[in-house]
Structure 1
Amino acid sequence: MRKYYALLLAALITVGAQAQTKSNLAYYLPQNVTYNPAIPTPAAVLGYEVGEWHASHDQLLMYMRAVDAASDRVTITEYARTHENRPLLLLTITSPENQRNIAQIKADHHKLTDPAESGKLDVSKMPAVLWMGYSVHGNEPSGTNASLLAVYYLAAAQGPAIDEVLRNTVVLVDPSINPDGMTRFSSWVNSRRSKNLVTDPANVEQNEAWPGGRFNHYWFDLNRDWLPLQHPESRGRLKQFHEWKPNLLTDHHEMGTNSTFFFQPGVVSRKHPLTPDRNFELTQKIGAFHAKALDKIGSLYFTEENYDDFYYGKGSTYPDVNGAVGILFEQASSRGHAQEGANGVVRFPFTIRNQVTTTLSSIEAMQALRVDLLNYQRDFYQKAAKEASGQGVRAYVFGAEQDPARSYELARIIRQHQIAVYRPKSTLQLNGRTFNPADTYVVPTDQPQFRLIQAMFEERSTFKDSIFYDISAWTLPRAFGLDMASVTKLPKGGLLGQRLDSVSFPVGKVTGDKTAYAYAFSWHGYYAPRALNTLLARKLVVKVATEPFSIGERKMDYGTIMVPVGVQTVPADTVFALMQQVAAANGLEVVGITTGLSAQGLKLGSVNFVTLKKPEIMLLAGPGVSPTDVGEAWHLLDQRFGMTPSLVAPESLDRVNLDRYTVIVASDGTYNGIPVAAREKLRAWVQRGNTLLAMGKGAKWLANNGLSATKFKASGPTPTAPETASGPAAPSPTAPATPALATAPGARDRAGAVPPAAPRTGALPQRPYVGMRNTASAQEITGAIFHARLDLTHPLGYGYDSPDVYLFRDHTVFMERSASPYANPLMYTAKPLASGFISKPNELKLRSTAAADVADVGAGRIISLVDNPNFRAFWYGTNKLFLNSVFFGQIIRANAAPATEE
């Protein structure tokens, strides 16, 4: 393979040399070293200088493989393929001697994270591992293009200094974290580039079309997927992360054109409490190297502002709970090749140079702080082990007796984070729930990943600060809708049974044989909708039970799916084989029924077994719709449930034959592009008996435009001080004080203003102007978990075994209760906060409000879900609210239909 690439390289260099008119490497890279002429420059392979065009992903791969073929410092691993089948590469760059000793270096780094082994290591003799990740957001291209120069420098630079760096450091380069988004963006800007660069911010080049290149194929933000691991890019990357156990990780991003350059640390009061203070101290020390390097080239920058280190699902924060130091870089974006901004024209090469400069300063910092970072990693895990043995919770338990698939999906994620998972030794009675060994998992806290375990399971509602860059809560068992409990006292005989090195999908089965009168399966199983869709796609007659019934001694709940054999147009053998197929594929128990005369409840011929039609789904997807929200629905239906939704732009509704569809989904969005005529067309379509499912601001848009009668509370910031759930926020050492932090009468706050002792009646206290933005930000709900109650007899509640549902909310849209007693099957409780931050005024607004609303519109209905039930693809616990709307919307009414005359 290397011989092939060597021949290809020679051809590429010849073509590149002919196309290359000058070299601008001096603009980007140090010139106090020599460069090995055997290593091709980027221009020699690409045929243009870095920064002249936006490199495409295939060009990036071509260069990385060319360097690999030419250098004994470089090896390449393909660690995954994207949804669009693009390779994801990790380059390992170090000295040839270290390349020959890679297995031992990895083994030593694993020992460093094992408290039982780490004390035996002499870290002064160990190479440190630096991971450099570029452009997780595809339309933040300066990072990816900078990786071309970083790899060239590390492979080609010569001299004692670089030799020492490569002896002491293994540099891992992830040159394009999001190839699908990168391809979408580079194609846009390159195809709209003028020969004479246009810098106008209104120019089409600088304004890419919806959904933009930020996201991956399904329009997910991959920078939020390090913890939930819902995409192949993230799963492959995390495997490499834990194979290497890096000491320092850099994460190269872009921000708005009018800014400058940011490097961490962020706001100190906004780091997660589980991250040691020593991490912040090391981040500051590393920051000094970035400041020195940026000073040298005259680039403006800032630090300890705006950004935080709280959500462990981000690329620059996940390392902080794994014994490493994560560093976020944010470069003001040119959004194309050049754009006017507050600091002059921001040009693409300039953005790349800053990323290259901080790449090199990261390498310099790693060299200087190598022993400190290695010691920190060892201490992190040793201290975590002591904390685990000294704290009260000995283990976390989770499961779902009636739906082992959801438990399996969470256990699978936990295992990928290098956390040990067990079955319980015996049946457990905890929190009033029974946990059986067959469908329960136990995560003991006494293991090296103790802090990460805490981060996954904790429910936190008090914070040092009231402002969050991302979400404030993500308790995973709540996200999966599972029973959960913490064990503080070990039972007699111990707690742990079998350790699971891998977890297995639930085994499905069919009881009975091909002579059955009918087949039935519970709707409790997570993948039951996939089974139903398969049956409907095969054109079988399928019914849903709207009341309970029994099969012998087995109780069958609301929402049970029943397939009568005698009415089908296919032979009984075919029906039996299909039931075996859906049982195995979806982890379901399908019960063969021998008679239509059930012992209790519905008889199989009852009109309360309602025949279902296969839903034909349209997802509104285009300008005015949140790409992430509609992408989550698309991913759910396509990837998990094998369905075929159509993606249709809202502005084209007036040109589309709506009668092709039975369900239209309006995800969160503004929908301003829908023509008035299309709104009336949409109303008529619903009246003909169809289902319009709207979520978040999509539901509010329908109400504002007279399509639904759902009512919402007035929105807007509440003029009050930011508070935590249990009281005022503590002051941020690096941010201006907010009104919640007012000092004693007569004292001066940090802005120098003297708060008035007695404000006029009806007037708000005087507040320092400098804190205005923070005050407003504290009234946002950036992401928290809330408790709601669900009517289990309602079709939206089918498949739930408990009325207690935990919703994720990241907005301030509040739905009023309906006048109909049947229209709000899901309601927030009087004390809704379960985990995360919400200001007191917003909590008061949220209490006892509706989370779901069903409105009759002619023969059809509009279902409004105020929150996104598919959040980031890991909120498994509320996916069924969405799927029930899709499959059972056809049978839902908000008001009782008139009685039929005999």
Structure 2
Amino acid sequence: MRNLLLLFFITLQFYTFGQVADSYYLPQNVSYDPKIPTPKQFLGYQVGEQHVTPYEQYAYMRELARLSDRFKVEVYGKTFENRELLLLTVTSPKNHGQIEQIKAEHQKLVNPSQSGSLDLKKMPIVVWLGYSVHGNEPSGTNSNLMSAYYLAAAQGAGIDSLLNEAVILIDPCINADGGNRFATWVNINRSTNLVSDVNSREFSETWPGGRTNHYWFDLNRDWLYQQMPESKGRLVKFYEWRPNILTDHHEMGSGSTFFFQPGIPARTHPLTPKSNIELTAKIGKYHAAGLDKINSAYYTQENYDDFYYGKGSTLPDVNGSIGILFEQASSRGHLQETQNGLLSFPFTIRNQVSATMSTLKAAREMRVELLEHMRSFYKESNTDGVKAYVFGNSKDAAKTWEMVNMLKRNQIDVYKLNKDETIDGVSFNKTTSYAVPTNQPQHRLIKSMFEKRTKFEDSLFYDISAWSLQYCMNIPTAEAKASVSLGEKVGVNTFPKGKVVGNSTYAYFFEWNSYFAPRAAYELLQKGYTLKVAVEPLTAIVAGKEQKFDYGTIQIVCNGNDPREFLQTLAERDGVDFYATSTGLTPLGIDLGSEKFRKLKQPNILMIGGPGVSANDAGEVWHLLDQRINIPLTIADIETVNRVNLDKYTHIVLSGGRYNNLSDEKIKRFVQSGGVLVALTDGAEWVANKKLASVTIKPRPNNNGNEKRPYALQEKYSGAMETAGTIFEAKIDPTHPIAFGYQQEKIALFKDNNIFFEDTKNPYNTPLIFTSNPLIAGYVHPKNEALIKNSPAVITQNLGAGKIILMSENPNFRAFWYGTNKLFLNALFFGHTIGGGRFGGEEE
């Protein structure tokens, strides 16, 4: 018996750790078309032997489409690194012949006035299979090689029935940039004799790793507001098809097993209907049966939630679909030692193939039930009493424009106002404002985007607990409880171009209200124009009339030349208005030659990156400056910064992360010699701990209490202390350079940390302070809320000839927090102007 067991384990080792046969992955109760090449025949290596790159994956998918009349391939977008993003449509040849009709009929499920007449028994189900949104979670995209081969080559009544009754959409490599980065790393570090030692270089990819896209964004958090090109292209196809099931194939820690949804029921968003959870659980039985068949361990209803609608497995739930998350324990390379024994790459792939097959089996057998779920979902009407959400900002048309885009990208109808409206004391001009009526199919999604939820069944969140669109954008918004007069529905949403008023060889003004004003300012500085910022208001003569200009107005010094033609280009591109004036004398306020017009410097910015630094936070800075404001950004690792001369830089940025190995003495000398240090979240905490600024971080409270508690509740109590993503209200001082361009008394800030500043003794160096009743939306523990109340959110100080600007929050969160980007940009453009006077920010 012992010899038989030994033989069994030797055989298991061969199939698990060596090159496996196709039968290891594929169902064997069918025959396969020999005209369709297996992945090994096409690629030259077996699936799981090495990591497939996006180029290889796409070449194989195109070969399947060339050889099989079941496959059609299309490009739905391109990444920042110019890689294509493919979507495959897989169904029977007959269905392909009438695919547009099938799609049109399927879309009727969303329209209650049309869906009642549909014969669901005759309709195909639509299934979306999405693989590896995180590039270093490769079992998903590698498993798709075998799943796609099965769909192209399998023969028999079962596959014929599936393809007749389903339209299968395959997104084979959601994150092509990150996937290529990771595949390259593990393949070049792979040994012929596989090394399973966790200390091997193969398992320690270099910073920032392959999880994220080019700008280090987590694409799995971008499904709702869609700021990345990968997401924008993918969601166009999602809404074009509105799948009944969407799978989202991930990986988790190597010491785990395999997870499939449902997650923890108490952590499901309340707007998701209970029927969704029930159907997810029913589908889960198919996954369990498939994994049981191959003797794989798994679990469900633990760890993960379905709350934040910006994730790939959750956005479908608020669109009448069933989103399903799969999490496979990751081998991270090819073979790794874990607490559960040796974990091989082929084994991880096999589980993902099983999950795909069980999904397709469930879709076929539950087809009518899932179609009915979508039809019933959209038949339910809005009952919360809000007739419409009305929004608009006459001072920043660019942000309003993008807010409309966000809504329209989610198939939400937006209308112009037919007349001026005043709602809850907020005035909306019909020329600059919009309305989103709630009596439309997407009413659940609309509510989720505007709601201000502060009560929750559970206090633990896998991701953020609030994402209210109006606060993300800092756009005045009101809930209309009565009907508003709707004008024209927004079709093509054209960018609001600016204008140039008058002409002059003396000076032009532009205000800092527009979102893209910093982009215009940087280009003007880059081309050699002298710019000055007004630190006090003024009234100037423009086109023969007096016009008021607020704090932060920019003066362009013409020096005898008229830049009108160039300014017209900037006005159209950036949505900025330019105003000519022919005299330096003003009717009211500071004159143009006043020292209170302070000269701007062209920023030359260094951001510190590398191991320890949060790639997500750093990537948000990089994306903002590189993609939106057109500012070059130098990114250097900590060890590089410690040894190079920093004199040529005007600014150093510390985003979130750990800076344990950064030389505080070198950073101190940089600031003392005139540089500006901008430190966010953990970076600000590092500055405080190193005593570079006279700022104190409040001690973090714990939730242990004095009484004894059951050990099993430890996670619940400790997790409740995390501020995972909540919106708070802060008072803003629009006279401070950090707040230039904000014409309001209060602003919403997003907080996803437990960093709380103590108040400073200086009455002038805290331009943003949380209010005494700060919670707007999301979850916060009462102990943390007490620490936030009346505490500074931004602190500015002088150090020698330079400035330190500390922000406890991340103003650039996930690229969709447009409303606070200006705070960060102001630190770059105006940071050096802060100071002056007894309490003007001098070192204390």
* TM-score > 0.5 by shorter chain: yes
Q: For 2:703, give the aligned amino acid.
A: T
Structure 2: how far apart are the matches of 1:689 and 1:34? 74
Deviations 1:369-397 (A, max 9, x none): 000000000000001xx2x2x43100001
Alignment pair present for 1:508 and 2:498: yes
Structure 1 residue 714, shift from structure 2 partner: 1.1
- Partners of 2:70 and 2:738 in 1: CA distance: 58
| Equivalent position of 1:525 in the other structure | 514
Map of 2:11 onto structure 1: none
* Aligned partner (choices 33, 38, 41) of residue 38 of structure 2: 41
- Is residue 2:83 matched to residue 1:86? yes
Q: Please say if 1:847 is aligned against 2:844.
A: no
Cα distance, 1:433 vs. partner?
Answer: 2.2
Partner of 2:170 in structure 1?
Answer: 173
Q: Counterpart of 2:614 in structure 1: which amino acid?
A: S
1:404 to 386, 389, 397: 397
Pick from 802, 816, 833 the counterpart of residue 744 of structure 2: 802
* In 2: Cα distance, 1:297 partner to 1:359 partner: 14
CA contact (8 A) 2:506 2:561 kept: no
**8 Å contact from structure 2 (residues 763, 839) kept in 1:** no
Structural RMSD (CA): 1.3
Q: Does 1:671 align with 2:664?
A: no
Does the alignment pair 1:688 with 2:676? no
Residues in 1 aligned to 2:723 and 2:510: alpha-carbon distance in whole angstroms? 39
**Alpha-carbon distance between aligned partners in 1 of 2:732 and 2:202, rounded to the nearest angstrom:** 48
- Match of 2:805, SS state, is strand
- SS of the residue corresponding to residue 629 of structure 1 reads helix
Structure 2 residue 776 is the aligned partner of structure 1 residue 834 = yes
Amino acid of the structure 2 residue aligned with 1:504: T
Q: 2:133 aligns with which of 133, 136, 139?
A: 136
| Local SS of the residue matching 1:173 | strand
User: Secondary structure of the equivalent of 2:112?
Assistant: coil
Change (3 A) 1:258 1:716: farther
- What residue in structure 1 maps to residue 526 of structure 2? 537
Q: Which of 326, 331, 344 is the equivalent residue of 1:329? A: 326
Cα drift, residue 681 of structure 1: 2.0
Partner of 2:702: 717
Does the alignment pair 1:485 with 2:478? Answer: yes
Q: Matched residue of 1:130: which SS? A: strand
In 2, Cα distance between equivalents of 1:218 and 1:894? 38
Partner of residue 486, structure 2: 496
Q: How far 1:889 moved relative to its partner? A: 0.5
Other-structure match for 1:699: 684
Amino acid at match of 2:522: N
Q: How is 1:327-476 mapped onto 2 (pairs within 5 angstroms)?
A: 327-383=324-380, 386=381, 388=382, 390-476=383-469
Q: Contact 2:529 / 2:557 at 8 angstroms: preserved in 1?
A: no
C-alpha displacement of 1:716: 4.9
CA distance in 2, matches of 1:798, 1:592: 21
SS in 1 for 2:642: helix
Secondary structure at the residue paired with 1:526?
coil
Paired amino acid for 2:672: Q
Equivalent-residue separation in structure 1 for 2:789 and 2:57 (angstroms): 52
Question: C-alpha separation between the residues in 2 aligned to 1:43 and 1:717?
Answer: 54
Aligned to 1:660, which of 648, 662, 668? 648
The superposition leaves residues 644-669 of structure 1 with CA deviations (integer Å, 9 ceiling, x where unpaired) of 01011112112222111001000011
Structure 2 residue corresponding to 1:114, chosen from 111, 114, 117: 111
Describe the superposition over 1:701-737 as per-residue Cα deviations: whole angstroms up to 9, x where unpaired: 11112222211101253335xxxxxxxxxxxxxxxxx
> 3-state DSSP class of the match of 1:485?
strand
Deviations 1:590-643 (A, max 9, x none): 111122111111111111111111010011111121000010000000000011
SS in 1 for 2:46: coil
Give the superposition deviation at 1:897: 7.6
Q: Secondary structure at the match of 1:766?
A: coil
What displacement does 1:432 show?
A: 2.2
Q: What amino acid is aligned across from residue 523 of structure 2 in structure 1?
A: T
Unaligned runs of 5+ residues in structure 2 are 1-17
What is the distance in 2 between the residues matched to 1:695 and 1:517? 39
Q: Judge conservation of contact 1:623–1:673 (CA < 8 Å) in 2.
A: no
The sequence identity of aligned pairs, in percent, is 51
Deviations 1:655-700 (A, max 9, x none): 22211100100001111122xxx32122111011110000001111
Instruction: Give SS of 1:240's match.
Output: helix
Offset, 1:454 = 0.4
Residues of 2 paired with 1:495 and 1:465: CA distance? Answer: 40
What are the Cα deviations for residues 740-775 of structure 1, in whole angstroms up to 9, with x where unaligned? xxxxxxxxxxxxxxxxxxxxxxxx222111111111
* Aligned mates of 2:647, 2:608 — CA distance in 1: 15
Equivalent-residue separation in structure 2 for 1:368 and 1:771 (angstroms): 40
> Paired residues, what number?
820
Please say if residues 652 and 677 of structure 2, whose CA atoms lie closer than 8 Å, have aligned partners that are also in contact: yes
Q: State the SS of the aligned residue for 1:692.
A: strand
**Does the 8 Å CA contact 2:701/2:783 hold for their aligned counterparts?**
no
Alpha-carbon distance in 1 for matches of 2:384, 2:308: 23
Change (3 A) 1:716 1:648: farther
Q: Which amino acid aligns with 1:500?
A: V
Shift of 1:895: 5.6
2:535 maps to which residue? 546
CA-to-partner distance for each residue in 1:85-120, whole Å, 9 max, x for gaps?
000000100100001111011101111111111011
Secondary structure, counterpart of 1:591 in structure 2:
strand
**Within the alignment, does 1:586 sit opposite 2:574 as a pair?**
yes
For the 8 Å contact 1:42–1:50, the answer to whether it is kept is yes
Partners of 1:266 and 1:133 lie apart in 2 by 19
Q: Which residue of 1 aligns with 2:226?
A: 229
Q: 606, 609, 621: which is aligned to 2:609?
A: 621
Structure 1 residues 787-833: Cα deviation after superposition (integer angstroms, max 9, x where no partner) = 00111100011000102111100111111111111111110011110
Larger displacement relative to structure 2 (557-566 or 151-160): 557-566
Tell me whether 1:164 sits opposite 2:182 in the alignment: no
Q: CA deviation at 1:894?
A: 7.6
Residue pair 1:822, 1:895 contacting (<8 A) in 2 also: no
Q: In 2 relative to 1, CA 394–136 (structure 1 residues): closer, same or farther, beyond 3 Å? A: same
Quote the Cα distance in structure 1 between the aligned partners of 2:412 and 2:733.
Answer: 36
What displacement does 1:896 show?
Answer: 3.5
Q: 2:5 maps to which residue?
A: none
Confirm or deny that 1:192 pairs with 2:177. no
Q: How big is each residue's C-alpha offset from its partner over 1:160-201, in whole Å with a ceiling of 9 and x where there is no partner?
A: 011000000011110000000001101110000111111111
Distance in 2 (alpha carbons) for counterparts of 1:586 and 1:546:
23
